[in-house]
């Protein structure tokens, strides 16, 4: 079982990291894909724009007029098709001029069909062979068709004076767009897995952080269960011993009576332990406002003062109480708070030997009301002081067992104070006595007008 639990924690951590990586990874991949397609679209749009400008420039060079009383088209001044040098880049693979009747008139680059078959507009086409055109070589035009066979072709009708004078068709290699997109793909192919690994590591780290408090509370629960079972096992064993002794023959009625009384005592102490455990399990979190009652603190403590004055006489202790002059109204749960103050007062009585002093004092410190119990008892060693509020913690099991404590009294007191939004502090020096302070905040139900420093 023990080895299963750490496994369970690392499995949960792995699952958390996996789900985190998966969800973040899918967001990342979708984002990268969208980015890639948007960039591809933008690149193609810019490319098309350039191709369109080229057709416009070429179309502007076409001259349509009457030559020897015949309507003739002159392509002399058309870049690429005419004798004109290329005023722009050399990406153009081919250019063609068709008559209004879609018959081929002039071309540059790959030999076209005699008839214009294409629709006007842009087209992406694949060129199967690298062109071996002498005209092209003569012009010194380098084509990258050998590497990339993808071309972008634009066919436009050309008008002059609202009259169709022919069709211009040009195509350029898509290699530059492909190169840019390939660089982007390479960046994404390398970048996405690296980012995914970073996300995975972050997920693993976050999973660890998320599991930490669960792990801690699990360990606390395990310690608590182990301690509780240990505490219950010892008295159970004692009950069995007394019962077996009582069953022995021949039975002495006095011994039997003694055994039964012991069993009863042990069972009572077990009952107390169980109610303490239940109390700790049930009273967590913050108290709801309806569980609070506005009380006059000094009056309310009066009953406890009376009870502990009697006890002090029986234990030969000097018990004093010091309360502020002014009215202190405080919103608390009286039953729970009584339990907390009693636990601290009982400890003071328990750990102060005959002739010692115990003082109960109430004072106001800025926005806190402090209930302080001071004793001149045996004190608490410095090393134990940070642990005394832990469940089942006993400074010295011998002295605690002797005094009958389970090590739960302070844990309960602390829990009660915390559900009231307060704090509990212990100051102690071994052999010199201890001071416990319950600091309770003035809430809206309390009377803040009373909150003046009397220190």
Q: Is 282 helix (H, G, I), strand (E, B) or coil?
A: helix
Question: Angle formed by the axes of helices 4-60 and 175-247, to 10°?
Answer: 170
Question: DSSP labels for 192-222?
Answer: HHHHHHHHHHHHHHHHHHHHHHHHHHHHHHH
In this chain, which of 400, 423, 443, 447 binds ligand ADP, going by CB under 6 A?
Answer: 400
405 binds ligand ADP (CB under 6 A): yes
107 binds ligand ADP (CB under 6 A): no
> Which one, 259 or 374, has the nearer CB to ligand ADP?
374
Asked if 420 and 337 touch (Cβ cutoff 8 Å), the reply is yes
Collect all residues with Cβ–Cβ distance below 8 Å to 452 and sequence separation of at least 6: 326, 364
Cα 92 → chain centroid: 56
3-state SS, one letter per residue, for 286-315? CCCHHHCEEEEHHHHHHHHHHHHHHHHHHH
User: Quick one: which segment of 80-88, 131-139, 142-150, 395-403 binds ligand ADP (CB under 6 A)?
Assistant: 395-403
* Residues 375-394, mask of contacts with ligand ADP (x by CB under 6 A): x-xxxx-------x----xx
User: Quick one: which segment of 56-64, 144-152, 171-179, 408-416 binds ligand ADP (CB under 6 A)?
Assistant: 408-416
> Which one, 362 or 410, has the nearer CB to ligand ADP?
410
How far is the C-alpha of 164 from the C-alpha of 337, rounded, in Å? Answer: 101
Question: DSSP labels for 88-141?
Answer: S-S-EEEEEEE-TTSBEEEEESS---SB--SPSEEEEEE--S----HHHHHHT-
> Which one, 22 or 430, has the nearer CB to ligand ADP?
430
User: Quick one: which segment of 72-80, 133-141, 364-372, 403-411 binds ligand ADP (CB under 6 A)?
Assistant: 403-411
> Which one, 82 or 377, has the nearer CB to ligand ADP?
377
How far is the C-alpha of 28 from the C-alpha of 271, rounded, in Å? Answer: 59
CB of 10 to ligand ADP, least distance (A): 35
> Which one, 329 or 410, has the nearer CB to ligand ADP?
410
CB of 395 to ligand ADP, least distance (A): 3
Computed on alpha carbons and rounded to an integer, the radius of gyration of the chain in Å comes to 47
Residue with tokens 């750990």: 351
> Which one, 376 or 446, has the nearer CB to ligand ADP?
376
How far is the C-alpha of 328 from the C-alpha of 432, rounded, in Å? Answer: 31
How far is the C-alpha of 267 from the C-alpha of 201, rounded, in Å? Answer: 54
φ/ψ (deg, to 5) at 451: -80, 75
User: Quick one: which segment of 14-22, 41-49, 304-312, 402-410 binds ligand ADP (CB under 6 A)?
Assistant: 402-410
> Which one, 266 or 388, has the nearer CB to ligand ADP?
388
φ/ψ (deg, to 5) at 209: -65, -40
CB of 348 to ligand ADP, least distance (A): 5
356 binds ligand ADP (CB under 6 A): no
* Residues 322-351, mask of contacts with ligand ADP (x by CB under 6 A): -------------------------xx--x
Q: How many residues in the shown chain lie near ligand ADP by CB under 6 A?
A: 22
> Which one, 135 or 387, has the nearer CB to ligand ADP?
387
Q: State which residue has the least CB distance to ligand ADP.
A: 405
CB of 262 to ligand ADP, least distance (A): 21
**Cis amide prior to 442 (ω within 30 degrees):** no
- Which positions from 200 through 259 interact with ligand ADP, judged by CB under 6 A? none
* Contact set with ligand ADP (CB under 6 A): 347-348, 351, 375, 377-380, 388, 393-395, 399-400, 405-411, 434
């Amino acid at each position: 079982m023990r080895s299963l639990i750490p496994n369970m924690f690392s499995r949960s951590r792995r699952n958390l990291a996996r789900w985190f990586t998966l969800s973040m990874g899918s967001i990342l991949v979708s984002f990268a894909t969208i980015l890639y397609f948007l960039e591809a679209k933008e690149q193609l749009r810019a490319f098309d724009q350039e191709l369109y400008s080229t057709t416009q420039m070429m179309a502007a060079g076409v001259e349509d007029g009457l030559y020897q009383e015949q309507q003739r088209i002159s392509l002399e001044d058309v870049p690429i098709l005419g004798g004109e040098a290329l005023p722009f880049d050399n990406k153009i693979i081919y250019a063609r001029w068709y008559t209004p009747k879609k018959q081929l008139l002039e071309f540059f680059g790959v030999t076209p069909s005699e008839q214009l078959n294409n629709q006007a507009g842009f087209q992406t086409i694949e060129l199967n062979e690298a062109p071996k055109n002498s005209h092209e070589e003569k012009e010194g035009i380098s084509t990258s068709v050998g590497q990339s066979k993808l071309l972008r072709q634009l066919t436009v009708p050309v008008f002059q004076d609202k009259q169709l004078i022919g069709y211009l068709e040009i195509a350029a290699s898509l290699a530059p767009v492909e190169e840019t997109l390939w660089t982007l793909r390479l960046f994404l192919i390398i970048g996405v897995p690296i980012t995914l690994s970073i996300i995975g590591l972050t997920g693993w780290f976050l999973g660890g952080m998320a599991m930490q408090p669960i792990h801690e509370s699990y360990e606390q629960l395990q310690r608590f269960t182990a301690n509780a079972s240990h505490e219950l096992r010892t008295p159970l064993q004692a009950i069995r011993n007394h019962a077996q002794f009582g069953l022995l023959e021949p039975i002495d009625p006095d011994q039997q009576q003694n055994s039964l009384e012991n069993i009863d005592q042990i069972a009572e102490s077990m009952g107390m332990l169980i109610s303490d455990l239940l109390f700790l399990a049930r009273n967590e979190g913050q108290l709801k406002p309806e569980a609070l009652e506005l009380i006059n603190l000094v009056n309310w403590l009066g009953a406890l003062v009376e009870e502990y004055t009697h006890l002090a006489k029986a234990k030969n202790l000097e018990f004093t109480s010091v309360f502020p002059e002014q009215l202190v109204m405080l919103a608390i749960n009286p039953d729970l708070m009584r339990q907390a103050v009693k636990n601290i007062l009982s400890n003071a009585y328990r750990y102060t030997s005959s002739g010692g002093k115990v003082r109960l004092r109430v004072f106001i410190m800025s926005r806190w009301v402090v209930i302080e119990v001071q004793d001149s008892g045996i004190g608490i060693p410095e090393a134990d002081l940070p642990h005394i509020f832990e469940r089942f913690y006993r400074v010295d099991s011998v002295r605690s067992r002797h005094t009958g404590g389970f090590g739960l009294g302070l844990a309960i007191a602390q829990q009660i104070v915390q559900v009231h939004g307060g704090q509990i502090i212990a100051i102690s020096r071994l052999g010199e006595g201890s001071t416990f302070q319950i600091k309770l905040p003035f809430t809206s139900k309390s009377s803040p007008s009373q909150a003046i420093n009397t220190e």
